[in-house]
Amino acid sequence: MMRTKMRLLAGVALCLGLAATQAGAEGKPSDEISKYREMLADGNPADLVELRGEELWKTARGPKKASLEKCDLGLGPGVVDGAYAQLPRYFKDSGKVMDAESRLVHCMITLQGFTKEEAIKQWFSKPGKDSDIEALVTFIGARSNGKPIHVPHKDPKEAAMYKTGEYIFYRRSGPQDFSCATCHTSNGMRIRLQELGNLTTREGAGTAMKSFPAYRVSQGSVWTMQHRLIDCIRQARWPEPEYLSDAVIALEVYLQGNASGTVMETPGIKR
Ligand code: HEC
């Protein structure tokens, strides 16, 4: 099965090259992107990651030899269905607004007894080194499929995070004087083959947010939203934030707020 997936991927990589060179001659690059999205629709390599995530969720692990099945992702202990679509949200027990990834790590610490360092050591995969977090978040995300994103940020702590996220989104800084808005507020703009989308509108933010975690063909791996945002902060030439930092969660509250009402469809496929 793995070998079939690898062959499939090699084919996609080939098409990607062709799509890039023939884009001018054969319609818009976005058409080409939707073509290999269609090709992968029957076999998104992220489906395997999702299965591994489900297995990990149910397996007793860590010093406390416990599974994650009692983890409260915001809808009550053990409720996974629909939880991702309503994150980030405020959690009384930690006194913090948490996204899917920080909440998952919270459960790995409190239920399974891992230290934070152990839990986040491999927060994204590298060739030959799988990431448990990536797999678990892919599983959690997919269990919201068909559910509308719902992050109303009504709680005062959530409202404050939304404001902070909005502020960071428009704040220009760094050696290039970039903000997120520089690259992400016009319609129809793209870099390489990827349409950037207007993240201040429901449609633009929705297209992005509903499909994360997503399989990135160019990277050959699944990216979580934390990974996506941390990399964009790097693209903005700003200092790189720590994994799970409040700045990243604030951006997520802002973007999920904008995307609210769009229906989840993950793992997506991205350039
Ligand atoms: C220099 C331009 C640039 C800046 C600045 C930038 N990004 Fe991006 N962003 C990109 C590119 C390019 C992609 C598409 C991925 C790719 O092809 O590499 C992307 C993708 C994204 C996506 C996923 C979109 C999707 O549909 O999958 C989100 C969300 C995002 N960026 C948020 C942000 C935020 C928040 C900031 C500010 C911290 C930011 N970006 C700053 C260039 C930028």
Q: Is 207 in the pocket of ligand 1 (CB under 6 A)?
A: yes
pLDDT of residue 21: 35
pLDDT of residue 197: 80
Q: What are phi and psi of 145, to 5 degrees?
A: -55, 135
Whose Cα sits closest to atom 3 in ligand 1? 183
pLDDT of residue 43: 78
Low-confidence ranges of the chain (pLDDT < 70): 1-33, 35-42, 188-195
Query: Ligand 1: distance of its center to the CA of 208 in Å?
Result: 9
pLDDT tens per residue across span 222-242: 999 999 999 999 989 999 999
> How many residues in total does the chain contain?
271
Amino acid at 252: E
What gap in Å lies between CA 237 and CA 246, rounded to an integer?
Answer: 19
Query: Ligand 1: distance of its center to the CA of 104 in Å?
Result: 24
Q: Is 271 in the pocket of ligand 1 (CB under 6 A)?
A: yes
Whose Cα sits closest to atom 5 in ligand 1? 236
What gap in Å lies between CA 189 and CA 183, rounded to an integer?
Answer: 8
Whose Cα sits closest to atom 7 in ligand 1? 232
pLDDT of residue 28: 61
With tokens 């999920």, the residue in question is 256
Q: Is 114 in the pocket of ligand 1 (CB under 6 A)?
A: no
Reading the block at residue 265, the tokens are 């469809």
What gap in Å lies between CA 269 and CA 271, rounded to an integer?
Answer: 7
Q: Is 232 a catalytic residue?
A: yes
pLDDT tens per residue across span 10-52: 434 433 333 333 333 344 666 666 766 666 666 788 999 999 9
Whose Cα sits closest to atom 40 in ligand 1? 232
